[in-house]
Amino acid sequence: MPYAIPESKRHRISTKIGLGTPLKDIAEAENVTVRLVQQIKLNIQRYGTPKRPKGPLQGRPTKITKEMQEVQNFIPLLLSPKSLTIGPP
């Protein structure tokens, strides 16, 4: 699911936060809520970016090993028409 606020708007908000503009003025100018501006400011303080990083992977771990993945990448090469010909090309 894409992030609700466009990258350009997040950049403008973070720039205004860096300039020390009051949060209420930023919210009015960018047509967002004060809470969103507060959240972006908090993310910049915690993570250094306006958007927090993704969390750790969840769910069942994969059973496909690196060797299996490598073999899977070579299967189309082995089944190509050129590899199935017998005799001189």
pTM as predicted: 0.61
Cβ proximity of 72 and 62 under 8 Å: no
1 token code pair: 């699911």
Mean pLDDT, all residues of the chain = 86
pLDDT tens, position by position, for the chain (89 residues)? 456 889 999 999 999 999 999 999 999 999 999 999 999 999 999 999 998 888 888 888 888 888 888 888 877 777 766 655 565 65
